[in-house]
Amino acid sequence: MDKIVIEGGSRLEGSVKINGAKNAALPIMAACLLLNGPSRIKGIPNIVDIRTLLEILENLGGKVNRLNGGTLEIIFRDGENEDNYTAPYELVRKMRASICVLGPLLSKRRKAKVSYPGGCVIGERPIDLHIKGLKALGAQIETNEGYINASADNLKGTVISLKGKYGSTVLGTCNVMSAAVLAEGTTIIEDAACEPEVQDLANFLNKAGAKISGVGESRLTIEGVHELHGVEYEIIPDRIEAGTFMIAGAITRGNILLQNVIAEHLTAVIDKLREIGVEINTDSNTARIKVNNLYHPVDITTMPYPGMPTDMQAQFMALLCTIEGKSIITEKIFPDRFIHAAELRRMGADITVEGTCAIIRGAPSLSGTHVMVSDLRAGAGLVLTGLVANGTTHVHRIYHLDRGYEKFEERLSSLGAIIKRMPE
């Protein structure tokens, strides 16, 4: 197992290219199960979660060719592997997002047996809305011995609401939309998630022959079609990776240029950084982050898109820990997603967690120490804090980071950070 070791204090300068979005790539790759013939998908990041899903797809009979420069060819053909519909525990347990094969499998192979993904360290991760949506389309679903067993002779379009206690569901919308594209008749999904990653899946499916309208809105209308064909497609840039590098620039009071960014996907993040006092200039596919010496504390509430993403909460917490004054973060998507607060406290941060709120009293200086990563974005937050902490920070359990950031430490190092990966 490796750790990341950081000497704090370097100001980041230079430029960095943002990769394709992990959370768009995963449901799009799973949707290849629905297609007849090869698809070429560009901009796939080389990270552990992608490799896990590829194993699942290969296990389901897909052929995968890794082409140059982050392009994958994924081939499924109608009529092949119809009796192969299981996503086993050994693979699903590695990544909760494996649930995104449920809708495509059920639609295409009429049966799906997917290991129940369970909870995780960011809190409860129910899938009741996925099941509700698929049942509304006509599926029979039961859970047995840790597996979701779904079957349907014929999926039929209907009206479905995916509204949950904390808003809609991203992967639930992906699953129900993927199942509805080949269903008989018209499906209307009310309270659909509007995240750019859901839009990217809809655009991919439409390019493959689906008829989805209302893309990016909370009401999706899907007219069922008989067949989908392979396509060439490029994944959108990863807005969370971009936001993470923006905060790397801001926290080190640096000056960095991000390439391959859709600023519109980051409106809430950019607005909040500007409120803090960070200067950000954007154009059609870049964003420049510049130093501004006087930063202000702010209040942040995570919300579904276009609000502040929960996947940026830990990184913002890291930044707010370095800004004098009181900031409050309210987590409205995953109320328990504050495990990183305890690790930040070990670095000298003053954070009090009260229910779904974290109250941060920024300290002028933090100190390096040993910290543990609890989940992907928490890990990003800890590495960002290490960039400015006095002395050496050892970030342990970085396999969480490797799930979602490609060569994170190498790219930070190319911007001037003193950071390296070492064996434990």
Residue 108 in the binding site for ligand EPZ (CB under 6 A): no
Shortest Å distance, C-beta 103 to ligand EPZ: 12
Q: How far is the CB of 163 from ligand EPZ (least distance, A)?
A: 9
Cross-strand partners of 115 = 147
Q: Contact, 212 vs 174, CB < 8 A?
A: no
Interaction residues for ligand EPZ, span 388-417 (CB under 6 A): 404
Least separation in angstroms between residue 170's CB and ligand EPZ is: 3
Q: Which amino acid is at 146?
A: G
Could you say which of 170, 228, 314, 320 contacts ligand EPZ (CB under 6 A)?
Answer: 170
Stretch that binds ligand EPZ, among 170-178, 202-210, 241-249, 263-271 (CB under 6 A): 170-178
CB of residue 64 vs ligand EPZ: minimum separation in angstroms?
19
Task: Let me know if 194 is a catalytic residue.
Answer: no
- DSSP 8-state symbol, 20: B
Sign of CA dihedral 383, 388, 389, 391: positive
- As a whole number of angstroms, the distance between CA 282 and CA 292 comes to 16
φ and ψ at 132, to 5 degrees? -60, -45
Q: What is the identity of the amino acid at 292?
A: N
Of residues 75 and 308, the one with the C-beta less far from ligand EPZ = 308
Site string for ligand EPZ, 3-32 (x = CB under 6 A): --------------------x--x------
Q: Tell me: does residue 116 bind ligand EPZ (CB under 6 A).
A: no
Stretch that binds ligand EPZ, among 164-172, 184-192, 320-328, 365-373 (CB under 6 A): 164-172
Which residue among 28, 97, 181, 387 contacts ligand EPZ (CB under 6 A)? 97
Site mask for ligand EPZ (CB under 6 A), range 348-387, x = bound: ----------------------------xx----------
Q: Which of these segments, 10-18, 158-166, 366-374, 386-394, binds ligand EPZ (CB under 6 A)?
A: 158-166
Residue nearer to ligand EPZ on the CB measure, 98 or 187: 98
CA nearest to 378, candidates 329, 325, 313, 323: 313
We find the least distance from the C-beta atom of residue 97 to ligand EPZ, in angstroms, to be: 4
- The active-site residue out of 100, 120, 194, 321 is 120
Number of residues that bind ligand EPZ (CB under 6 A): 27
Burial class (CB in 10 A: 0-12, 13-18, 19+), 126: middle
Using alpha carbons, list the distances in angstroms from residue 113 to 45, 60, 101, 156: 27, 11, 10, 20
Cβ proximity to ligand EPZ: between 109 and 132 the closer is: 132
Angle 311-316-321 from CA coordinates, rounded to 5°: 145
Nearest Cα residue to 103 out of 25, 186, 173, 40: 173
Residue 172 binds to ligand EPZ (criterion: CB under 6 A): yes
Residue selected from 108, 111, 130, 400 as contacting ligand EPZ according to rule CB under 6 A:
130
Taking CB under 6 A as the rule, does residue 333 contact ligand EPZ? Answer: yes
Q: Which stretch binds ligand EPZ (CB under 6 A): 62-70, 208-216, 308-316, 410-418?
A: 308-316
Contact residues for 348 (Cβ-Cβ < 8 A; gap 6+): 363, 365, 366, 367, 389
Confirm if 245 and 280 have CB atoms less than 8 A apart: no
- Give the CA count within 13 Å in the CB-facing half-sphere of 32: 30
Q: Which is nearer to ligand EPZ, 209 or 309 (CB)?
A: 309
Of 381, 376, 397, 406, the C-alpha closest to 4 is 397
Nearer to ligand EPZ, 102 or 344 (CB): 102
Tokens of 411: 């790219």
Sheet containing 63-66: which strands, arranged edge to edge? 63-66, 72-76, 37-42, 232-234
Report 180-209 residues binding ligand EPZ (CB under 6 A). 193, 197
**Rounded Cα distance, 421 and 405, in Å:** 14
Q: Using CB under 6 A, which of the segments 30-38, 103-111, 163-171, 279-287 binds ligand EPZ?
A: 163-171
Show which residues are catalytic.
120
Enumerate binding residues for ligand EPZ (CB under 6 A): 23, 26, 97, 124-130, 164-166, 169-172, 193, 197, 309-311, 333-334, 376-377, 404
